[in-house]
Amino acid sequence: MVVPVSCRAALIAAALVVLCALPALAEDVEQKDEVLDIGTVHVMERGARPVTLEPRRETIDIEEYELPGTPASVVDVLRTMPLVDFRQESDMVPEDDSVYLRGFDSTRFSTAMNGLTIRQSGGRKSSNIVDYGALIPLWMIGDIEILPGPHSALYPAKSFGGVLNIRPRVPSREELQDAQVNFSASYGSFNTASTHLDGHGGVDSVFYDLGVQRYTTDGYLRHTDAEIDTFYGRGGYLFEDDGFLTLSYLYVDADRNLAVANDPTQADFDDDYPHVDKDTPEFSDWQHPASDKVAQSVDLYFVKPTGMGEVSVAASHRTENRDRKYDEIPRGGGPVQDGSWNTKWEQRAVKLMDVVEINGENTLTVGVEGSQLLDGYGRTNWDSAYASHERVRTLAGFAEHNWDITPRLHLSLGARYESVETWTANVKSSGDKWISYKDDWINRTFDGFTPKSFLTWELDDVDASLRDTSVSVGVSRIWRAPDYHGNMNPQGRPTGAWLDPEHGMGYDLVLQRRLTGDITMKVDFSYYKIYDYMTYNRSFSVLPDYKDYQINLDEVEQKGVEIVLGGHLTDELAFTLGYAYIDMDSLGGELAGEQAVDQRAKHRVNAGLSYALTPQTTLIANYQFKDKQTTEIINYDRNTDVVDSHTEDLDAFHLFDFAVEHTLFDEWKGLSDGTVKVYVNNAFDERYQNVDGYPGTERNFGVSFSVSM
């Protein structure tokens, strides 16, 4: 019997749920690095895909995390988690906003550094809220904390899809005794190469980190070659009471060409590259499109235990200057002209927080957070462009109380008040106003209050069969203001003058259980009700003054399931298995609603294995399944009010990646940890499309080498 691929994924999920009901498979056993408290379960051995599972979060230990290939950015690690949906046109070149979290794009979840949210006003022919290719280098990350859902008061209200909190490593005093230099290099198919050198050291309580990296590729798709150069430096001081202060600087120079059509029916077809239909990409080869960027950031992070609790301050100043270059033919015809957009973004942000322990059973976290998002133009072909202007200003206060009601019952109650002020541009490139009776800048302020709650009950004392098992319930309010260029000024139109904030409720039911040894499973059922969901309505707009160019949908509903299972089957064999199901529906009947929730695979499976063949050699395998993605095609004739619609599907696909990693030497002539890895991605040469109709990368090979001194 042939089982459809979507059913196979569902059957895997069903099998995992059945496992959750089984009694514990073994009594206490001695396990290295294992914590037998269901609230926090660690899987820490090399090659085990070390992930800490908690009911409210999952934490990836980057230093120990094994991948078959050589990661180009933090996204290559995140995409192995079932929570994260990879959305890039090509996996060869890191892009901006290249992942969804629980089916939501970057406007509805947060990426943070040391708890401080990274974001921009965005827009200008791409979303550009977070550019993961211009984020902190992967080798400087200690761990990544993933918080699914809307249940934390510590992050912006827009974070109802969840949070990706990136935490740079902080050295211990023991690590400062000897300086260390690390070097790695890799080379693979499509002339893809990555080289990086980093150094770490310190004297007494002062420490430093320096690193450079260069990533280049010819790309798989036509005209997708790239060069990304990164410099990172950080200085810090360790206090005697485990507090610390760090100040870091990041500089990225990224030159990325953009995919173009490569249609066999066109005269400029090049059979050295895969076929890309002329209607799929935004550009043709004659336009020579590119997205060149220089990004810089200065970040301060301070943590200090005091008599009034542990005080922390995170502050950041980030700038990005992107030159999106391409040739174009004017709308009225005529010779080819430069259609480039040179855009500048700036973020200023600060977060002050205090964590106070009360009687050993209560922890109170209070804080304030603010940000300013500015943007402007460095070069345009119209006179009305502005050099720099504040587009979004946020100010928030938050509190979260964690209470151990009993040794087995834990409650988190939180609340966040947030004020969001926005400025919508109301001037055309000609200098005229879009809305004649409004100001040049339309200023609006939105206020939202979001209560949060999360309750965990550990069932150890209920029955022996429920040992190392917990159940959790999260109930929290959803709220989000129109705080993004694509909401305020899509295609330049001043839709921010009319939009209302999104609001609703989010619910999670989480079951977590240690099955045996360090093998642990977590199952999370989520349900969202979102009212006034913002979406584009350009194709169906009929009202004057752009009142319906972007609209608030009446109601959007989401149902989801996420399963994470992992640990050691034997001392040598470790595994992870993840499954995600998502179903989003627009319930208000708006034509734009169907398009707002399409292009999301209902079923996704991620799995990984690592096997220590010998103490020096490890075999690594990855598997990814993604269900079909359906696109709603709706044609609306305003003159006749006739609607013609149909759907188009991207087929489901399976990907397998394999690698062999071998330690050449532990110590040799002053060098240490010499390691070589040989890998193959898409080993069975699956033909697939990941998003927007672009062909996924064919089978490709590579080798990497790393050493320390």
In a domain, 48, yes or no: yes
In a domain, 611, yes or no: yes
Number of domains in the chain: 1
Q: Is 109 left (phi over 0), alpha (psi -120 to 50) or beta?
A: beta
In a domain, 337, yes or no: no
d(Cα 506, Cα 451) in Å, to the nearest integer? Answer: 11
Q: Give yes or no for residue 41 having a pLDDT over 50.
A: no
Let me know: does 395 contact 419? Beta carbons within 8 Å. yes
In a domain, 292, yes or no: no
Burial of 649 (0-12, 13-18, 19+ CB in 10 A): exposed
Burial of 181 (0-12, 13-18, 19+ CB in 10 A): middle
Of 7-16, 20-29, 319-328, which has the strongest mean pLDDT?
319-328
Q: What is the DSSP string of 380-433?
A: -SSTT--S-EEEEEEEEEEEEEEEEEETTEEEEEEEEEEEEEEEEE-B-TTS-B
Q: Tell me if residue 490 falls in helix, strand or coil.
A: helix
Which of 375-384, 509-518, 646-655 is the least confident region?
Answer: 375-384
In a domain, 480, yes or no: yes
In a domain, 338, yes or no: no
Q: Please state the rounded mean pLDDT for residues 251-278.
A: 91
Strands 180-188, 469-480: pairing kind: unpaired
In a domain, 645, yes or no: yes
- In eight-state DSSP terms, residue 19 is H
Let me know: does 478 contact 501? Beta carbons within 8 Å. no
In a domain, 289, yes or no: no
What pLDDT, on the 0 to 100 scale, is given for residue 91? Answer: 85
Residues 6+ apart with CB under 8 A from 360: none
Tell me: the pLDDT tens digits for 544-565? 999 999 999 999 999 999 999 9
**Angle at the Cα of 409 from the Cα atoms of 157 and 164, rounded to 5 degrees:** 30
Structural domain of 397: 5-274+297-327+344-708
d(Cα 180, Cα 198) in Å, to the nearest integer? Answer: 8
Report pTM.
0.90
Let me know: does 434 contact 428? Beta carbons within 8 Å. yes
Q: Please state the rounded mean pLDDT for residues 404-410.
A: 95
Let me know: does 142 contact 170? Beta carbons within 8 Å. yes
Question: CA dihedral in degrees (484, 490, 492, 497; nearest 10)?
Answer: -70
What pLDDT, on the 0 to 100 scale, is given for residue 498? Answer: 97
- In eight-state DSSP terms, residue 696 is P
d(Cα 624, Cα 672) in Å, to the nearest integer? Answer: 34
Tell me: the pLDDT tens digits for 173-213? 877 778 899 999 999 999 999 999 999 999 889 999 999 99
**CATH code for the domain in which residue 21 is found:** 2.40.170.20
Tell me: the pLDDT tens digits for 411-427? 999 999 999 999 999 99
